[in-house]
């Protein structure tokens, strides 16, 4: 059975691509708790667990600036963003955004 949250994220993604000015805020609102839940266990695997919330914000911001990089045919949006981060890449991702 398809995840109803992912279905909603998919609809919001389409609205974002269509230029809906409300879609970015709605997506961020829906994505933050989903990514926190997915990445909660990863905080123990990184040098600084405070990097996880920072990385979540950064990966969402990066997605919102270039949403066409996400291919919904390959899976759900929350899973895609979690994969972009990955437990081994959180610190590197945060530091790369600072550069």
Q: What is the pLDDT of residues 37-59, one digit of tens each?
A: 888 877 777 777 777 788 889 89
* Range(s) of the domain holding residue 20: 4-98
% of residues, the chain, pLDDT over 90 = 51
CA distances to 67, 77, 99 from 1, rounded to whole Å, are: 26, 17, 42
Q: What is the pLDDT of residue 3?
A: 73
Count: domains in the chain: 1
* 22 phi, psi to nearest 5 deg: -90, -20
Torsion of CA 76, 1, 26, 90, to 10 degrees: -40
């Amino acid at each position: 059975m398809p995840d109803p949250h992912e279905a909603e994220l998919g609809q919001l993604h389409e609205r974002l691509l269509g230029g809906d000015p409300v879609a970015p805020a709605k997506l961020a609102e829906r994505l933050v708790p989903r990514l926190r839940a997915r990445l909660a266990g990863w905080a123990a695997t990184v040098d600084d667990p405070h990097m996880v919330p920072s990385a979540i914000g950064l990966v969402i911001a990066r997605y919102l600036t270039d949403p066409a990089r996400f291919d919904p045919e390959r899976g759900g949006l929350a899973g895609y963003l979690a994969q972009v981060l990955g437990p081994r890449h959180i610190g590197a991702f945060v530091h790369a955004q600072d550069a």
